[in-house]
Amino acid sequence: MQTVIEVKELTKNFGGHVAVNNVSFKVRSGEIFGFLGPNGSGKSTTIRMICGILSPTAGIGSVLGFDIYKEAEKIKQNIGYMSQKFSLYEELTVDENLDFYAGIYGLGPAQAKTRKSEVIELAGLKGREKFQAKMLSGGWKQRLALGCALIHRPQLLFLDEPTAGVDPVSRRIFWEIIKYLAKAGITVFVTTHYMDEAELCDTIGFIHNGTLTAYGSPEELKEKHGRLTLEDVFISFVGQEELDQVKALFENKQTSLVGGDLK
């Protein structure tokens, strides 16, 4: 299977702070790759380097065959990116937002019309074309953002916590769309804090304190680390000590948070 992303010993320093430390992994064509880690772990910095937005301090990498140092602009032109925070134009309608992004990616009028029709159908936005973005709920806004990220038919799609703050039904629908895109051959690179979503990924990379601590399929990681769920694997990497301290605190009845010493 073709390799779409490959990074080796990717490193980024900000002054004396090492934000990303010798990270190496591969992402294959058509897979859903889950990139997991707590806030401040180095996820966003790694993604920015892969997308050609930020130059690494050290290491090498390629995305869709383009070098992350020398061909950053080509990478940007050939990927789709959707941020966690809704970043489209609130005053513009669904149609107008899609038209704007079609123009950004240089689509001609006929091509833009075809692509817009396709993404409206895919994202379930039919009937909402004339709604201003600010009128949409959180889940519908995310679908619109996804449509704008897909309008130029990228081979690789980056989704940064795409379902954060949306309701369970919208989350489920969004992941049905993600699975459909992967089956259609689009490679999806996704970050999430929801471990049930992580279970749907083909491959997982755990990053903590700038270091890739685990890499493999959900089943491989659970088996390797002797855990029943990915959430347990995640906690074992980033929060087991803190969790044990809290458990010990309550077991030893050393707190009066509920209005008095526990009996």
Every domain of the chain and the residues it spans: 3-251
Q: pLDDT tens digit string along 202-211?
A: 999 999 999 9
Alpha-carbon torsion 226, 205, 25, 220, what sign?
A: positive
CATH class of segment(s) 3-251: alpha beta
Give the per-residue pLDDT at 147. Answer: 93
Give the per-residue pLDDT at 68. Answer: 96
Cβ–Cβ < 8 Å for 199, 43: no
Cβ–Cβ < 8 Å for 33, 199: no
pTM for this one? Answer: 0.87
Cβ–Cβ < 8 Å for 165, 175: no
Give the per-residue pLDDT at 1. Answer: 67
Positions of the chain with pLDDT lower than 50, given as ranges: none
3 state SS of 48: helix
DSSP 135: G
